[in-house]
Structures are given as C-alpha cells and as structure tokens.
Amino acid sequence: MTTDLKILEGRLLNTIHETAAKWGAAGVWGSDVTETGCCRLALSDLDKGVRDWFVEETKALGCTVKVDEMGSIFAIYPGKNEGLPTGIGSHLDTQPNGGRYDGIYGVLSGLEVLRTMKENNFVPNFPVAVVDWTNEEGARFPQSCIASSVWAGLVTKEEGYKLESITDKVPVSYGAELERIGYKGTTPADHTKNQLAAHFEIHIEQGPVLEHEKKKIGIVVGAQAYHWQQITVNGRSSHAGTTPMHTRSDAIHIASKMISAAIDIAKKHGGLATIGTISLEPSSVNVIPDKVTFSLDTRHVEDGILETINAEIAKEFKQIAETGSDPSQAALPLEVEHTLLLHSEAVRFNETNIATVRESAIQLFGEENVREITSGAGHDSCSTSHVVPTSMIFIPSKNGISHNPAEYSSPEEVSNGFKVLLATILRYDELRGK
C-alpha cells in the first residue's frame, strides 16, 4: 500500500524558505538566513503576494484554481475520475510575530504532493485539492479559522466580512481587504456547493508532546475546545495625583486582578487561559483609566469543563468588578462586559481518516515512533470535520514553541511529515477507488 513515487528530498523545505524570504520573513532568531520567523497577516499585501505565487504554481501543475467568497483558494489537481476532490488544506497567513511553519508547512506540503504526483506521472483515482484557507490565525481579524468556518456553514459569510482588523492603526474590514487584494472570489464559500470528499491537514504540533516523547509523527485524533471573548471593564477615569486610593474605580487595577483570577481558574481545572490583547482608555500616564478591554482565550479538551471554567471566570469577574478597588470606601463599583468572539467545540476526527494516517505513519516509521495526540490549537480541519471526513498529522515542534519567530521543526521532521501525508493521500485515494 506504500507509494513508490519518487520524492525530491529538500524541495519542500526550500519552498518554505523561499516563500518566507519573499513574503514576510521577520523576527531574526539565528544567524542563518532561514532563521527568522514570518509576519504575513491575512489579506495583507504579503498575503496577496504568496497567494498569486500559489495560484501560478498550481496552475502550472495543471490545476483548476477556484477562489471562494471568503478568499480561500482551491487548487484542484485532476484525477482519473470526475468525483469530489480529496482535500489537503491549511493556511498561508501567519501571526504578527509568527514562525515560518505554522500553516505554511501544510499548504506547501499539499503543493509538494501535487508536484510529486506530476513528476511521477501519477494520476490519482480522484482529484486532489490543495486549499489555502483565509485568516486561519485570527491574528489580523480576531476569529480564527473564519473562512473554513464559513465554508462549513458554522458562521455566515456576512459575519466574516464584517470582522474588523486589530493589527492595523486604522481598522479595516475583512470584506474590504478581500476586495482590495483581489481575492473576493465567486465560488460559493459553502461546502454544499463547493464540495470536498475529505480534508487532511499536516501541521507542526506547536506544543511539546512529540518532542518530549521522542515521537516522529502525531496521529491527530481531535482538537480541544476553545473560546474567545473580549472583556471590557468600565471604571471611572480620574487624576493620578489627586484621587485618593480608596475612592478610585481603577479599571486597570480591577482588570489586573481579573487576569490573575482567570489564569488561576483555568489552571485549577487543567485548562488554559491566555490574555493576548489589552487596551486602555484614555491611555495617559497620569490618568486612572476608565476602560480596559482585553481578550480572553480559554481552552480545555472537554466541552463541559471549558463551560465550567468560563462560568467560574464570569462569576469571579463580576465579583471583582462589583467590589471595586476598595469596597469599604467611596469607590464606585465597576462594570464588566463579556463579548463572545469565537467558540469552537472539542472535535473528534473521522475514524477512517485517523486510521489512514495511522497506517501510513506506522508503515513508514514504526509503531514506536508515532503516537495519537489531541491538538491544543484550533485548525481549519476543526471546521471541515463538521461536514467532511477529516483528520490531521503532526510533526514535532522544537521546545514546543509556536506563535513565535523561533518556531522550528528540523529538515528531517519536515520531510517525515510530508512522507506520511503523501502516503495518506495515496492510501485514501486508493480506498476511494475501491
């Protein structure tokens, strides 16, 4: 069942480095020219650059390229039969201070699958689509996996278009940026109208598990639940020099207590809590702020426990706000508001897909070098898993570091993962052929 397709060792990694160098290399962490991260925010000029290249490359391989209404690019490599394409998807956008593997590795591995098939004059039973999903990171437009979520019918197109950027001095909308870079396609962003037979995704783990256990490949069986909120604390601004401490309704003092409390609550339940953005009004050295806004990302592998974490946090925030800085004194109580940005349920991937990855990985690297793993991060595969058979493959991340320029997987790890992906796609295609 393994492939005897000839693989061109090193080309995938070269493509990763060449595209990073052209579109977004940033965040030097080592002395080699490839030792930087990448800043390629969704729908930016750099994103347009790499998209144009990706479209050209896949067309040159004989793909039909479709761009959907959310800007996701579907490059479809023809098969012997007309049926639905087997999808390989991930994303080409990055964090503002991201690495050069997160997402990019997945899309470029898909491209490498197509290149390898082409070179070997191999025609799959069914078409193979490589998909670049828009704004997976949720870094520029604060809803991760938005384009795959719209495609899967979890969120409306309109909600996506309305998202306002949080990385621009003057916020711009997803819809406007999509038009500006010329990637507002006409293919419906709808899994019932632009169908896939399945979705596979290869990704760096972004966490410490595989490295710690010295495993080469992670067979991803699902992903934990995560929840994004924007928290606003309303106090009363006043003068830093003339307002007695006991009469202050100091929004940042209260917010700082909330931040500590949220982290403690998540920890207590074995979950995660992250505060990634914060802003403060009016923002002047000698003014007690009256408004603090911060993001809160909470996660847990079990939906129920995540719900408990969020409920406890909300209860605690309310109490911290109401008792103010100094409840025994003249300080006014503060108010806290919660705005939901995103909720992604815990996901269990498709058993057939998982088995296909498992068999390919074990055949290539042996039982002892692979393990099942649950993703800590969200992925476009979490969206697609709601509507098509989906699973993922992980490779180790050095020091478990991601969303950091120093994100790194070795050339060997990059190559290992690609081999498992290629084998998985061929195996799945064969399965579909039967």
**Sole window of 68-76, 160-168, 212-220, 233-241 interacting with ligand URP (rule: CB under 6 A):** 233-241
Task: Provide the minimum distance between the beta carbon of 140 and a copy of itself in the complex, in angstroms, as a whole number.
Answer: 9
Task: Provide the minimum distance between the beta carbon of 77 and a copy of itself in the complex, in angstroms, as a whole number.
Answer: 31
Site for a copy of itself in 115-174 (CB under 8 A): 137-139, 142, 144, 166-167, 169-170
Report the residue from 378, 396, 405, 417 that binds ligand URP according to the rule CB under 6 A: 378
- Minimum CB distance to ligand URP smaller for 33 or for 240: 240
- Minimum CB distance to a copy of itself smaller for 127 or for 138: 138
Taking a C-beta distance cutoff of 8 angstroms, is the pair 93, 50 a contact?
Answer: no
**Sole window of 67-75, 188-196, 375-383, 417-425 interacting with ligand URP (rule: CB under 6 A):** 375-383
Report the residue from 11, 236, 379, 419 that binds ligand URP according to the rule CB under 6 A: 379
Question: If we measure between CA atoms, which residue out of 80, 86, 87, 127 comes closest to residue 107?
Answer: 87
Task: Provide the minimum distance between the beta carbon of 207 and a copy of itself in the complex, in angstroms, as a whole number.
Answer: 3
Task: Provide the minimum distance between the beta carbon of 186 and a copy of itself in the complex, in angstroms, as a whole number.
Answer: 31
Task: Provide the minimum distance between the beta carbon of 201 and ligand URP in the complex, in angstroms, as a whole number.
Answer: 10
Give me the residue label for tokens 């193979």: 128
If one asks whether residue 144 binds ligand URP (CB under 6 A), the answer comes out as: yes
If one asks whether residue 137 binds ligand URP (CB under 6 A), the answer comes out as: yes
Q: Which does 328 bind (CB under 5 to 8 A by kind): ligand URP, a copy of itself, none?
A: none
Angle at 73 between CA 72 and CA 76, to 5 degrees: 140
Q: Report how far residue 283's alpha carbon sits from residue 292's, in angstroms, rounded to the nearest whole number.
A: 10
Report the residue from 34, 173, 187, 256 that binds a copy of itself according to the rule CB under 8 A: 256
- Minimum CB distance to a copy of itself smaller for 116 or for 229: 229
Sequence-ordered list of residues with C-beta below 8 angstroms from that of 134, at least 6 positions apart, any chain: 42, 43, 70, 71, 72, 91, 93, 146, 147, 178, 183
Q: Report how far residue 303's alpha carbon sits from residue 299's, in angstroms, rounded to the nearest whole number.
A: 9
Number of residues near ligand URP (by CB under 6 A): 13
Number of residues near a copy of itself (by CB under 8 A): 75
The three-state (H, E, C) secondary structure of the chain, written as one string? CCCCCCCCCCHHHHHHHHHHHHCCEEEECCCCCCCEEECCCCCCHHHHHHHHHHHHHHHHCCCEEEEECCCCEEEEECCCCCCCCEEEEECCCCCCCECCCCCHHHHHHHHHHHHHHHHCCCCCCCCEEEEECCCCCCCCCCCCCHHHHHHCCCCCHHHHHHCECCCCCCCCEHHHHHHHCCCCCCECCCCCCCCCCEEEEEEECCCCHHHHCCCCEEEEEEECEEEEEEEEEECECEECCCCCHHHCECHHHHHHHHHHHHHHHHHHCCCEEECCCEEEECCCCCEECCEEEEEEEEEECCHHHHHHHHHHHHHHHHHHHHHCCCCCCCCCCCEEEEEEEEEECCEECCHHHHHHHHHHHHHHHCHHHEEEEEECCCCHHHHHCCCCCEEEEEECCHHHCCCCCCCCCCHHHHHHHHHHHHHHHHHHHHHHHC
Task: Provide the minimum distance between the beta carbon of 65 and ligand URP in the complex, in angstroms, as a whole number.
Answer: 24
- Minimum CB distance to ligand URP smaller for 106 or for 124: 106
Site for ligand URP in 276-335 (CB under 6 A): 286
Site for a copy of itself in 293-352 (CB under 8 A): 295, 297, 299, 325, 341
Closest residue to ligand URP, based on beta-carbon distance: 286
- Minimum CB distance to ligand URP smaller for 37 or for 127: 37
Report the residue from 86, 109, 149, 237 that binds a copy of itself according to the rule CB under 8 A: 237
- Minimum CB distance to ligand URP smaller for 116 or for 310: 310
**Sole window of 10-18, 85-93, 184-192, 399-407 interacting with a copy of itself (rule: CB under 8 A):** 399-407
- Minimum CB distance to a copy of itself smaller for 2 or for 260: 260
Report the residue from 87, 124, 207, 417 that binds a copy of itself according to the rule CB under 8 A: 207
Report the residue from 8, 60, 240, 340 that binds ligand URP according to the rule CB under 6 A: 240
If one asks whether residue 276 binds a copy of itself (CB under 8 A), the answer comes out as: yes
Interaction site with ligand URP (CB under 6 A): 102, 136-138, 144, 206, 239-241, 286, 377-379
